[in-house]
Amino acid sequence: MSRTLYIPEGYKSSLTLRETQHAIKYIKDIFQQALSIVLTLDRVSAPLIVRQGSGINDDLNGVERKVDFDIKEIDGKAEVVQSLAKWKRMALYRYGYEPGEGIYTDMEAIRRDDDTDNTHSIFVDQWDWEKVITREKRTEEYLKDAVRNVVKAVVYTKRKVSHRYPVLGDRITDEVFFITTQELEDMYPDKTPKEREDLITKEHGTVFLMKIGGKLASGEKHDGRAPDYDDWALNGDILFWDSVLDRALEISSMGIRVDETSLKTQLAECGAEDRMQYRYHQMIADGTLPLTIGGGIGQSRLCMLLLEKAHIGEVQSSVWPEDMIEKCAEAGITLL
């Protein structure tokens, strides 16, 4: 195992396998309806695969290998998506959405180079959403309002789930604490980024950690972000305190997307100016694509948090290292 598997002392699932399956569906039904209401979003269909070389697939940190394959009737190769960050913005343009309107979709992806542990799987499932905004809305305050709305949907869903399954007791803090990565580094200069996240989230319960992607005063990055979708000055992660795992759990990465200026600056910082060959990037640079805000919300992670599970494999079916399967079985953690 590349990451450390954590076995909570005395852990036992509060729900049976059958109850868990019912609860997963209930969470997904409730949450996506709540999300669509608070953010004014339409549900749309989304691709599992895109053409290789289209520039649409998410490059994540730029080093992860994509799953690709050839197709009998088409020249070149196709790739399984790693996320839909770029596709969504193109969809808003193609479908003719106006400012204040948006979309969400069920996204499934494979990230073959992810390390697996309690909260990471090579299979990724999330609600991807994107919304058209005006240039005047490209502000930190607008971003914060969107974060509060996402948290509102999570808290509402938790309330409904706990009412249906009273054995689930943990409450989620609905008041969001906002802090930047630089402020967090200044508070805990001798800690790792993950240790900082744990400390601040344990104190406040619900945190939005802002400005992820650029280098901090230390010369290090808090975390990597692709240079061509989030504006690193207007993005962040929503973190909730997970009392089962005794750590911060990232549920959503979101942000206001790059405009022509931040795209150019961030590509240059990463030495990725060659991406301007793609039509997607050219459409941002020439103002063809709308200005947007968007993000991804982990479906399995949300279920894991709300159902108070110790391992993401308790709420999704995936492939795990043999030693992880054995250790979980010994601890009474049933992986689906």
Active-site positions? 58, 111, 126, 237, 250, 253
Per-residue CA distances from 321 to 82, 249, 304, 311 (Å) = 21, 22, 20, 14
Rounded Cα–Cα distance for residues 166 and 148 (Å) = 26
Rounded Cα–Cα distance for residues 157 and 162 (Å) = 9
Question: Which residues lie below 8 Å from residue 119, measured CB to CB, with a gap of 6+?
Answer: 245, 249, 250, 301, 304, 312
Rounded Cα–Cα distance for residues 124 and 63 (Å) = 17
Contact 265, 241 (CB under 8 A): no
Single-letter amino acid code for the residue at 98: E
Q: For residue 251, which phi and psi values (nearest 5 degrees)?
A: -100, -30
Is beta strand 206-210 parallel, antiparallel or unpaired with respect to 292-298? Answer: unpaired
Contact 60, 81 (CB under 8 A): no
Neighbouring C-beta atoms of residue 310, cutoff 10 Å = 23
Cα 155 vs. chain centroid, distance in angstroms? Answer: 17
Rounded Cα–Cα distance for residues 307 and 318 (Å) = 18
| Structure-token match 């509402």, residue found | 156
Rounded Cα–Cα distance for residues 9 and 126 (Å) = 29
- The DSSP output letter for 73 is T
Joined together, the tokens standing for residue 196 give 């900082």
